[in-house]
Chains A and B, each alone.
Chain A
């Protein structure tokens, strides 16, 4: 029977071509939206590697001087040092540290490094000693930075678990050289749990490397953001009191205090909104396609009344006719989806979906296939029922 239906559909492929094209396009649209949504959802569930609650950012407003000459002293260093000391003097403050590229911010430092003979893409952040405590990083091996590192001959580096795995495999990273090329090479002193600076929507495996800035001795351009962890339940008035105090202490320095939670809201909303909008538009478009499909199928059944009447006359039951129509719909859909899947499979080769992981890609395709089948079969429900009610005598009377 399936072979018979296949022959029917195949010989009618020109007439069905438009329908097939429409289902094909709908599949691609649904695939794109579902993959984006799946990607977001799957990323959302992964741990962040830090705690954003009750953290304030004090951004010192001074445009950074380009180029990071490691030895020269940044005039802001003593300022940042003093600010951190003053901030930590308050009982409402648990800890404070400076950070070059805070989470949920627009600044990112990324690069391709040649380490131990491999080309590796990594993200880097430059922080002062208390950063791990402020952001509540999870230390997995070794240690975090400490003020004693001022006296070290080499630069200490803390990497996250993903970077450790990429660089060193199963070997213990602690104590390893970080950059073979540099004779005064950096050395890994610790490993933290994966840190996702861009938050919940960031791809996993950020390959984060933390570098240390000393507050005590000259070490080049200082990070301009001071992250402050305040005690939960701190009253809002404290913020203004803190700002006033700091202005008094450093009258020549401009700064603004922001809340990391609010920055997170804005950041996430900005990135999730386009997907939502796309999703809503797709919903409308697909419902339009579904309605159209039902209409066209209905027309087709009406036009094939005679054929249906004939089949009833030679012994097809009503239910058999209904299954035939649904079967044809399923076959047309399958034809369209085969072509659609072939097209979609090309995308990774084009490199466009390098942004998306393979398992999300697979989920996207499977979900899209299921959705399209569901929709087309639903559309076929009424027309196929209609076909089953055709009375042979009526149908064949159409001379």
Chain B
């Protein structure tokens, strides 16, 4: 192993420019892949405040389907109250409204923020870490108390270093007392994302409580993960038996409780035509095959250039296997070096992404898991881009190699 290592270094050092070019290609590819992995990892890992979401079901769309038209909207509060709250054998159920933009006026100016109207059960399903204060209680929810929980970022914008708890902020023309402060939430945590949370009962009119379709989302916290399929089936049964309020226009209802992954899929399918999804998939493949092809070409060139050296070794008894092993070793070494460099660069890119706040409040990180994936990808790339050239090299006949290489 040691001799392989020394040999590999010497070989790579002999053709410095070529080694640099290969490293450049590997590094760029791996940086893009590692950053993408970090983003995907962050999006799909259950993390505070949604760390319980591996046993949570969501419903955020209900479709009324008729012969001439389809109406798709969020469920209304009435829907969730009637059909979700009452599901048997669950730990908790909650309703929260879609984040809506609001303006908070203060003497110092106006601040824009996102607002969610929730119930008290919301705080049992999501596990926010309260920096100050507490969530609102069931009692406050029932009374329609004008209380609010705000995010730390909003607190900073409104109050800077002054105390926030107990202060009042004007939302929609009324004063809400701040009872709690939580950390900023990344936009990728769609159930939790907001800047201000208030009880839904503070809506100016109570019409929303009877709506079948509206702008709410329902959450169900199951007791264990195994309960999820049962709950989904139970709800599907309920949907079949739901009364249709406008039987002239609509004939049936489509609604389902989704796991986290299913809700992403439903989102993706709903928003884009299949053509666009195909285009995106094709683009991804295209973009990734380019670096792969580049590396294979470079490696092949490297091999062919050393054809005479290979021929000489073969003539002096080196077995095919040892030659291939040495070449693959070199390749993996190069890829690992490139991987090391790319980790450093990827960390910088991720830090810049976080600072630029391109994805609101998101804090992507290069944790151990991402690191592990990164190494696996690097090794895979090294083997993959070395396989074909190594095979070509192994087939090189000694005589041809000595004569000056295959063409």
A adjacent to B, CB under 8 Å: yes
Query: Interface of A with B (CB < 8 Å)?
Result: 12, 15, 18-19, 21-22, 25-26, 28-29, 32, 61-63, 66-67, 236, 239-240, 243-244, 246-248, 251-258, 262, 273, 278, 281-282, 284-285, 287-289, 291-292, 294-296, 298-300, 302-303, 306, 351-352
What is the distance, in angstroms, from B297's C-beta to the closest C-beta of chain A?
A: 5
Shortest C-beta distance, B171 to chain A (Å), equals: 9
Interchain nearest-CB distance for B331 vs A (Å): 15
List, sorted by A's number, 17 A–B pairs whose CB atoms are closer than 8 Å: A22-B297, A63-B211, A67-B246, A239-B110, A247-B174, A248-B173, A258-B101, A262-B112, A282-B287, A288-B24, A288-B290, A289-B294, A292-B294, A295-B18, A296-B297, A296-B301, A303-B404
Instruction: Known pairs A67-B246, A287-B28, A292-B294; list 14 more (Cβ under 8 Å).
Output: A25-B286, A28-B286, A63-B76, A251-B204, A252-B205, A257-B103, A258-B112, A262-B112, A281-B287, A299-B18, A299-B301, A299-B304, A299-B305, A302-B305
Given contacts A239-B105, A239-B110, contact A253 B290 (CB under 8 A): no
Say yes or no: B298 contacts A292, CB within 8 Å: yes
In the assembled complex, the Cα of A301 lies from the Cα of B405 at a distance in Å of: 14
Question: Within B355-407, which residues are at the interface with A (CB < 8 Å)?
Answer: 358, 404-405, 407
Q: Looking across the interface, which residue of chain B has its beta carbon closest to that of A284? A: B28
The verdict on A295 contacting B287 (CB below 8 Å), with A244-B173, A253-B204 known, is no
Q: Which of the segments B131-139, B275-283, B320-328 contacts the partner chain? A: B275-283
Q: Are B73 and A303 in contact (CB under 8 A)?
A: no
In the complex, are the beta carbons of B213 and A22 less than 8 A apart? no
Contacts of B279 in A (CB 8 A): 352
Is there a chain A Cβ closer than 8 Å to B336's Cβ?
Answer: no
Q: Closest residue to A66 on the B side, CB-wise?
A: B71
Please state if A295 and B246 are interface contacts (CB–CB under 8 Å): no
- Chain A residues within an 8 Å CB radius of B275: 351-352
Which B residues touch A29, using CB under 8 A? 286-287, 290
Q: Is the CB of A284 within 8 A of B32?
A: yes
In the complex the two chains form, what is the Cα distance from A248 to B205 in whole Å?
Answer: 15
1/0 contact trace for B275-317 toward A, CB 8 Å?
A: 1001100010011011101101110111011000000000000
The 7 closest A-B pairs by CB, nearest first: A247-B173, A240-B105, A295-B21, A299-B301, A254-B204, A63-B214, A18-B297
B164 located at the interface, meaning its Cβ lies under 8 Å from any Cβ of chain A in the complex: no
> A240 contacts which of B110, B291, B298, B407 (Cβ < 8 Å)?
B110
Q: Report the separation of the CA atoms of residues A67 and B73 in the bound assembly, to the nearest whole angstrom.
A: 12
Q: Check: B249 CB closer than 8 A to any chain A CB.
A: yes
Q: Decide if A306 touches B100 in the complex (CB within 8 Å).
A: no
List the A side residues contacting B278 at CB < 8 Å. 352
Which residues of the partner chain B approach A239 to less than 8 Å between Cβ atoms?
103, 105, 110
- Closest residue of chain B to A354, judged by CB? B275
Q: How far is the CA of A355 from the CA of B407 in the complex (A)?
A: 45
The yes or no answer to B17 lying at the interface (CB within 8 A) is yes
Q: Quick one: which of B196-215 are within 8 Å of A by CB?
A: 203-205, 207-208, 211, 213-215
Within the assembled complex, what's the spacing in Å between the Cα atoms of A80 and B29? 56
Report if A15-B407 is in contact (Cβ < 8 Å); known contacts: A256-B103, A291-B24, A296-B297: yes
Of all chain A residues, the one with the shortest Cβ separation from B32 is: A281
Q: Which residues of B contact A352 (CB under 8 A)?
A: 275, 278-279
Q: Are A285 and B291 in contact (CB-based, < 8 A)?
A: yes
On whether the beta carbons of B105 and A61 are closer than 8 Å, the reply is no
**Contacting residues, chain A, for B246 (C-beta < 8 A):** 66-67
B245 to chain A, nearest CB (A): 9
Please name all residues of chain A whose beta carbon is closer than 8 Å to the beta carbon of B214 when the two chains form the complex. 63
| A-side contacts of B174, CB under 8 Å | 247
Point out which of B203, B204, B286, B407 has the most chain A C-beta atoms below 10 A from its C-beta.
B204
Shortest Cβ distance from residue A344 to the other chain B in the assembled complex, whole angstroms: 12
A295-B174 Cα distance, complex, nearest whole Å: 69
The interface centre, meaning the residue of A240, A243, A253 with most chain B CB atoms within 10 A of its CB, is A240
Contacts of A258 in B (CB 8 A): 101, 103, 112
Answer whether residue B172 sits at the interface, using C-beta atoms and an 8 A cutoff: yes
Return chain B residues, CB-CB under 8 Å to A63.
73, 76, 208, 211, 213-215
Given A257-B103, A299-B18, A303-B305, A25 and B290 contact (CB-CB distance below 8 Å):
yes
Q: Which of A32, A256, A284, A292 contacts B101 (CB 8 A)?
A: A256
Taking a contact as CB atoms under 8 Å apart, the answer to whether B407 and A21 are in contact is no
Query: A254, B290: Cβ atoms under 8 Å?
Result: no
Whether, in the assembled complex, B186 has its beta carbon less than 8 Å from a beta carbon of chain A, the answer is no
B204 touches A22 (CB 8 A): no
* B64 x A295 contact (CB < 8 A): no
B277 to chain A, nearest CB (A): 11
Q: Determine if B25 is an interface residue (Cβ-Cβ < 8 Å).
A: yes
| With contact pairs A21-B293, A25-B290, A63-B76 given, residues A243 and B300 touching in the complex (Cβ less than 8 Å) | no
Question: What is the 8 Å Cβ interface bit string for chain B, positions 13-45, against chain A (1 contact, 0 not)?
Answer: 000011001101100110010000000000000
Contacting pair B25 A292 (CB below 8 A): yes
Residue B109 is within 8 A (CB to CB) of chain A in the complex? yes
Contacts of A247 in B (CB 8 A): 172-174
A256 to B103, CA, bound (A): 7
Distance in Å from the Cβ of B246 to the closest Cβ of chain A?
6
